[in-house]
């Protein structure tokens, strides 16, 4: 919560951003495994969920919170929940087809959201 990014983020975008990130990374890892003809399966890792928790914590300063209570109820517990989920699901194998199938819509959503945000910032500076 030490820096902000442009305009305020909505709470719903803040809640979904780390999950979209985690699913996208999982899918890219699966695609990399296929390209390398790797014998390993894609697994959920605590590092992946730790990264998602870090993204959530960093973006928390850019959220347009509706109230102080909402911030208190979400800003700290949500990243901690993501981190604890990562510890609980560490080394759980995900079928490659599922990882790729879920990551495609996640990556498209992230690209769309980034493009929409960039076009809004460009039109605001004109």
Please state, rounded to an integer, the average pLDDT across all residues of the chain.
88
For Cα atoms 119, 74, 1, give the angle at the middle one, nearest 5 degrees: 60
Q: What is the pLDDT of residue 2?
A: 45
Q: Is the pLDDT of residue 25 over 50?
A: yes
pLDDT of residue 1: 41
Rounded to two decimals, the pTM is 0.82
Q: DSSP letter string over 82-121?
A: HHHHHHHTTTEEE-HHHHHHHHHHHHHHHHHHHHHHHHHH
Give the pLDDT band (50/70/90) at residue 62. Answer: confident
- Read off the pLDDT of residues 72-120 as tens digits, 9 standing for 90 and up: 999 999 999 999 999 999 999 999 999 999 999 999 998 888 787 777 7
């Amino acid at each position: 919560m030490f820096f902000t990014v442009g305009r305020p983020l909505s709470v719903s975008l803040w809640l979904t951003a780390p999950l979209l990130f985690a699913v996208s990374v999982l899918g890219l890892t699966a695609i990399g495994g296929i390209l390398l003809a790797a014998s390993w399966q894609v697994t959920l890792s605590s590092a992946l969920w730790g990264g998602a928790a870090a993204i959530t914590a960093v973006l928390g300063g850019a959220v347009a919170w509706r109230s102080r209570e909402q911030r208190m109820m979400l800003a700290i517990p949500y990243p901690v929940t993501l981190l604890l989920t990562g510890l609980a699901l560490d080394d759980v194998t995900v079928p490659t087809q599922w990882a790729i199938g879920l990551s495609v819509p996640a990556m498209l959503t992230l690209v769309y959201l980034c493009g929409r945000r960039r076009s809004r910032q460009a039109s605001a500076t004109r």
